[in-house]
Amino acid sequence: MPRARPRTRGIHELGYLPLDELRVLLGGSEAVVYASIAEGFGLPVLEAMASGAAVVTTRLSALPEVGGDAVRYVEANAASIAGALQELLANDQLRADYARAGAERAAGFTWEACAATHLNAYRAAFAR
């Protein structure tokens, strides 16, 4: 398990992390930014929400299907991302609201729900 580092207002770009360290990092973050411009599903957003982090992401690709109303959406540019981060870092209650909503939404993404969705899609395709 990684040791806690002193809090800074800096941004840290990290490479690969083992899964056991990822949840600690995401859940211990004041906010997680995932400003993707092309995403197949949005697993990083889901992982951050499930870890209890407030999430900032874009409305591009499949990310709104994952984030729903539980994340802060931005445009994929530095000014929009910076504005959202400033807003979240200045407002503890807003950040906590996003973190809580994200964790609640992430709880609905189960393997059972995934299987049911696929089964329904297969049944609909077969019925055609």
Q: How high is the mean pLDDT in each 10-residue block of the chain (128 residues)? A: 56 79 88 90 94 96 95 96 96 97 97 94 95
Distances (CA, A) of 103 to 5, 11, 26, 98: 24, 23, 12, 9
| CB distance 109 to 63 below 8 Å | no
pLDDT of amino acid 13: 72
Residue 6 located in a structural domain? no
Considering the domain boundaries, does residue 11 fall inside one?
no
On whether residue 98 sits in a domain, the answer given is yes
For residue 105, give its domain range: 19-127
Question: How many whole angstroms separate alpha carbon 22 and alpha carbon 16?
Answer: 9
CATH number at residue 36: 3.40.50.2000
The pLDDT, as a whole number, for residue 5 is: 52
Residue 119 lies in a domain: yes
Which tokens go with 111? Answer: 């393997």
Identify the residue whose tokens are 């906590």.
96
Q: What is the pLDDT of residue 20?
A: 82
The answer as to whether 14 is a domain residue is no
Sign of the torsion angle spanned by Cα atoms 95, 31, 52, 110:
positive
Three-state DSSP class for residue 33: strand
Count of structural domains, the chain = 1
Q: Decide if 13 is inside a domain.
A: no
